Amino acid sequence: MTRLMKENKKTLIITSMVCLIPVIVGIILYPSLPEQLTTHWDISGKPNGYESKLVGAIVFPAVMLLVNISLPLLMRLDPKYENMSPKLKTVVFWSIPLVSLICSSATLASGFEIETYVQVVTPLSVGLLFVFIGNYLPKTKQSYMMGIKLPWTLDNEENWNKTHRLAGFIWVVGGLLIMISSFFKWRIYVMLPVFVAMILVPSTYSYLIYRKMSENGEE
């Protein structure tokens, strides 16, 4: 057992138990599910990807469980691992079970033709996840595990800090907008620009900081 596993043993056990929930639910509901389940949707919530019920209901959440268990080993591969604060480690540890719950719930709901779940609950959950992550982004240190991982943010701490203060604000606001829009049919016209802004604005801002620092000889 690695030192990271020992340090976060309690968290790892809890998150693994959460990841196990979709597996158990999938096994219980398996006989009642259709042979094919929707596993992917476009931005408007329309199905565009399918898998067998074995893969969608059991294999996928089981893989997420294995990824969660392997997470401490993956985190140790980060050259900047020592920069990760306890709060950031908590966010990383909880990201897998939260994603597993959201995706597995949507897949199982599709088996019972509960369209409202995918169209409302899923974007609502995603928006909440963005707010959760955005709240922690300004507090993150340089890391390959989480954040706006660009050459100039990873090379310069000041660039990283400024970029993530802005990114945190945009992700929180963007997450709130997605949550609000999830109750309306025009959600797609909000979600798509928000997704683009959450990536493009911080990345562009980071590059502008890099250019300015380069011109001033502050690299």
Task: Name the helix (H) or strand (E) containing 88.
Answer: helix 86-111
Give the tens place of pLDDT for each residue, 86-145. 777 788 888 889 889 988 988 898 888 877 777 788 888 889 889 988 998 888 888 887
- Of the candidates 72, 76, 66, the one whose C-alpha atom is nearest the C-alpha of residue 100 is 66
**Mean per-residue pLDDT, 33-45:** 83
Distance of CA 41 to the CA centre of its chain: 16
Average pLDDT, the chain: 86
Contact by Cβ (8 Å): 146, 91: yes
| Reported pTM | 0.77
In degrees, rounded to 5, the angle at the alpha carbon of residue 100 between the alpha carbons of residues 161 and 138 is 10
Q: CA 143, CA 164: separation in Å to the nearest integer?
A: 12
Core vs surface per residue 106-118: b (16+ CB within 10 A) or e:
bbbbbbeeeeebb
Other beta carbons within 10 Å of 177? 18
Give the tens place of pLDDT for each residue, 152-202. 888 899 999 999 999 999 999 999 999 998 888 888 888 889 999 999 999
Q: CA 146, CA 161: separation in Å to the nearest integer?
A: 13
Q: CA 62, CA 66: separation in Å to the nearest integer?
A: 6
